[in-house]
A and B are shown apart, each in its own frame.
Chain A
Amino acid sequence: QAVVTQEPSFSVSPGGTVTLTCGLSSGSVSTTHYPNWIQQTPGQAPRTLMYNTNTRSSGVPDRFSGSILGSKAALAITGAQADDESDYYCVLYMGSGVWVFGGGTKLTVL
């Protein structure tokens, strides 16, 4: 099965902007992969932050935005806050009834 790639870790200053990316080991990510971004804090269940590339889930502030940047899906966070510190996973639909998660990005806000 395909490998979905993410930055293992990222650091951002409070109030700063960061863009996390989600790529494929072979090929480009497109909207037909229906990228979802999942947020998870330690010990908690996953929560879908962004779906279908660029639609925010209910209650997610507009500081979060999703897009396709070049060959990758991207999650941008502007005005980073302390409680944005989490693990972020992207998941892509690969066709033939198969979904694949990326390895996740651990975001630190400091």
Chain B
Amino acid sequence: EVQLVETGGGLIQPGGSLRLSCAASGFTVRNNYMNWVRQAPGKGLEWVSIIYDGGNTHYADSVKGRFTVSRDSSTNTLFLQMNSLIADDTAVYYCARWSMGQRAFDIWGQGTIVTVSS
């Protein structure tokens, strides 16, 4: 079965760091364009970052310089390292695959909740 499962969310103080994981099954992370998308409480979806199959990465301005996306081929897992966290980073974080062939966000995870608060 093709699926994505996010873990690693939790309560973290402002200025702290957290690493989210997204375990993939049914396909290979390193051969795909993998994204992080977040949703603050009561707000809309916000694209956060992408890692291409070739390893290039891109970020939304709101997280540039603080967040780093990476992957591990041995565990077929996508990561999001989040540093210097602020209250505005409080959100549900989803990983999603962008299908290059279909031009589609075709697989979504169920999300993991990150709360930044003192």
A-side residues, CB < 8 A to B, are 1, 34, 36, 38, 40, 45-48, 51-52, 55, 57, 87, 89, 91, 93, 96-104
Q: In the complex, A1→B85 CA distance in Å?
A: 21
Chain A residues positioned under 8 Å from B111 (CB to CB)? 45
B45 lies within 8 A of A46 (CB) = yes
Q: In the complex, A32→B46 CA distance in Å?
A: 20
Give the interface SS of chain A, mostly helix, strand, loop or mixed. Answer: strand
Chain A residues positioned under 8 Å from B96 (CB to CB)? 46
- A102 and B44 contact, Cβ closer than 8 Å, known pairs A45-B94, A46-B108, A52-B103: yes
If A45-B108, A46-B105, A51-B99 are given as contacts, then 19 extra A-B residue pairs at C-beta distance below 8 Å, sorted by A number, are A1-B60, A1-B61, A34-B103, A36-B104, A45-B110, A47-B108, A51-B105, A55-B104, A89-B45, A91-B45, A97-B57, A99-B35, A99-B47, A99-B98, A100-B47, A101-B46, A103-B44, A104-B44, A104-B45
